[in-house]
């Protein structure tokens, strides 16, 4: 009796689903023509128009995604979350893509679509910094859980999470420490040296390093006090930071890469081979090799002698904005898309290392 009464409804649902899929396929085709997108590129339009989401009953429902507000190749932030999902913050929103194919899986709407910073907290929620606000978002539902309203400024430049789970928010007018639960302000540092907290990095001892428009300093996260300034870096714009496996801090400026001893707080060396280059992104892998992203390319450096061992070719765009190392991959965010390359290159691959373009849009 149950099966007899439910069967017509099931057929009707299938018919409706087929009709919706046909309509969205036509929309996708029109979108490709209108925007001049190349089907051979990594992005998949149909996956942006609709996605299939499993419900608790085991059936599937179509969930609309707004592609027109999220098509952008300028990758301002990259995050591989605790569930191994790859997220891209762009100048036009936040999207999730398939790591292998580059297909867009989902997108999250934001009050301000220009993403500037992105991190995940201990509960699996995202903190998304934009040019006009900071939002705590549930990536599963896309719901905004909290909006930080007591910051030094609404223009977010950087984000970091300390060992206690507090969120540190770097803005163009100082730094604020907030609660990961309700975005309540716990400390405010408005008058930092250099004013703007361009970049923040947690070192192996749990200290927070902050790169500004006027050098580099270190904060004790427990007291929210500045404990050291790095003399040699003073007067320089610091726009990228990373910590290698030994604990050494590396800072990128518009003219060089500087090595800093975190125990003595002294700059001890610089990589002369990139002197004069605009260093925008840095990342260090488990072997201690240093990936250096610049306005005009990506190179791999030997941290022991400072020599450049590889110039990476086939980038989505020559201007590298951010770098993320996860497992064996280096994810390369650029002004023209996302690329990736094996973090552990074979000796035979190093001289002519080639990246793979994962996500890009041709207009």
In-domain check, residue 283: yes
- Answer whether residue 183 is part of any domain: yes
Find out whether 250 and 282 touch, Cβ atoms under 8 Å: yes
Residue 71 burial by CB count (10 A; 0-12/13-18/19+): exposed, middle or buried?
Answer: buried
Any domain includes 214: yes
Residue 41 lies in a domain: no
Q: What is the pLDDT of residue 285?
A: 81
Write down the pLDDT at residue 128: 98
At residue 56, the pLDDT reads: 31
Q: pTM for the complete prediction? A: 0.81
pLDDT in tens, 265-302: 999 989 999 999 999 999 998 777 899 999 999 999 98
- Please, is 196 exposed, middle or buried when counting C-beta atoms within 10 Å of its C-beta (0-12, 13-18, 19+)? buried
pLDDT value of position 306? 87
Would 10 be classed as within a structural domain?
no
Do the domain assignments include residue 63?
A: no
Instruction: Report in angstroms the alpha-carbon separations of 342 from 8, 214, 350, 355.
Output: 52, 35, 10, 8
What pLDDT sits at residue 274? 93
Please check whether residue 35 lies inside any domain of the structure.
no
Q: What is the pLDDT of residue 62?
A: 26
Residue 2 belongs to some domain of the structure: no
* Domain, as residue range, for 315: 68-359
Which residues in the chain show pLDDT less than 70?
Answer: 1-71, 362-363
CATH number, domain of 297, equals 2.130.10.10
The total of structural domains in the chain comes to: 1
Question: Which pLDDT does position 246 carry in this prediction?
Answer: 92
228-238 pLDDT, tens per residue?
999 999 889 99
Q: Which of 37, 30, 118 is nearest to 72 (CA)?
A: 37
């Amino acid at each position: 009796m149950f099966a007899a009464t439910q069967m017509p409804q099931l057929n009707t649902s299938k018919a409706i689903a087929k009709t919706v899929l046909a309509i969205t396929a036509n929309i996708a085709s029109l979108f490709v023509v209108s925007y001049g997108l190349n089907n051979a590129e990594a992005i998949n339009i149909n996956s942006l128009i609709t996605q299939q989401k499993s419900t608790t009953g085991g059936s599937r429902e179509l969930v609309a995604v707004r592609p027109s507000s999220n098509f952008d190749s300028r990758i301002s932030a990259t995050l591989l979350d605790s569930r191994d999902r790859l997220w891209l913050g762009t100048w036009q929103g936040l999207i999730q893509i398939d790591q292998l194919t580059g297909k867009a899986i989902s997108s999250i709407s934001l009050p301000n679509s220009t993403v500037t910073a992105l991190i995940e907290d201990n509960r699996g929620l995202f903190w998304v910094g934009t040019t006009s606000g900071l939002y705590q978002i549930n990536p599963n539902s896309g719901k905004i859980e909290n909006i930080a309203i007591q910051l030094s400024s609404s223009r977010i430049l950087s984000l970091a999470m300390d060992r206690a789970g507090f969120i540190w928010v770097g803005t163009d007018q100082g730094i604020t420490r907030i609660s990961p639960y309700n975005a309540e302000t716990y400390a405010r540092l408005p008058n930092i040296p250099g004013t703007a907290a361009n970049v923040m990095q947690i070192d192996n001892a749990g200290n927070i390093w902050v790169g500004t428009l006027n050098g580099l300093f270190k904060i004790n996260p427990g007291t929210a006090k500045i404990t050291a300034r790095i003399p040699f870096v003073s007067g320089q714009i610091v726009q990228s930071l990373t910590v290698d496996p030994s604990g050494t801090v590396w800072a990128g400026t518009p003219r060089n890469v500087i090595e800093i001893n975190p125990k003595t707080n002294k700059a001890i060396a610089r990589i002369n081979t990139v002197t004069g280059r605009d260093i925008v992104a840095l990342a260090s892998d488990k072997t201690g090799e240093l990936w250096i992203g610049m306005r005009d390319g990506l190179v791999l450096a030997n941290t022991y002698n400072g020599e450049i061992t590889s110039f990476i070719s086939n980038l989505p765009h020559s201007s590298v904005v951010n770098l993320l190392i996860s497992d064996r991959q280096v994810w390369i965010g650029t002004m023209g898309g996302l690329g990736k390359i094996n973090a552990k290159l074979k000796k035979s691959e190093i001289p002519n290392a080639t990246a793979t373009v994962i996500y890009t849009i041709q207009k």
